Amino acid sequence: AIQMTQSPSSLSASVGDRVTITCRASQGIRNDLGWYQQKPGKAPKLLIYAASSLHSGAPSRFSGSGFGTDFTLTISSLQPEDFATYYCLQDNSYPWTFGQGTKVELK
């Protein structure tokens, strides 16, 4: 199975900060990667698919990049509603695998 290594596991940031989260795949997955946001007690929400495509309804401050093994989720200016846990998910081959998650907390 493809392993997804996500970093950092947590970070502290302030409103307005630029935040970057990375995922590394154990083998090449082209651009078959999505990013999800999850708040406590809620289902995950899709933010980015195909590594860099913004999902309909997701704010434009979220962006994704990468191809092959290294991927990045960037929040250009952190907003109060962005404090949450973020996961990457590779959908290149089964079994699909998630990263371990990154919890974004208020500094």
Partner 1 sequence: EEHLVESGGGLVQPGESLRLSCAGSGFTFSSYEMNWVRQAPGKGLEWVSYISSSGTTVYYADSVKGRFTISRDNAGNSMSLLMNSLRADDTAVYYCARELIAGALDCWGQGTLVTVSS
> Which residues contribute to the site for partner 1 (CB under 8 A)?
1, 32, 34, 36, 38, 43-46, 49-50, 53, 55, 87, 89, 91, 94-101
Q: How many CB atoms lie within 10 A of CB 59?
A: 13
Of 3 and 15, CB closest to partner 1: 3
Q: Please, what is the minimum distance in Å from the beta carbon of residue 56 to partner 1?
A: 8
Minimum distance of partner 1 from residue 15's CB (angstroms)? 26
SS3 of residue 82 by DSSP: helix
Closer of 15 and 50 to partner 1 (Cβ):
50
Instruction: Write down the least CB distance from residue 33 to partner 1, Å.
Output: 9
Rounded Cα gap, residues 1 and 15, in angstroms:
37
The amino acid that residue 65 corresponds to is S
Residue 14 CB, nearest approach to partner 1 (Å): 25
Neighbours of 71 (CB within 10 A): 27
Q: Which residues contact 30 (CB under 8 A, 6 or more apart)?
A: 67, 68, 92
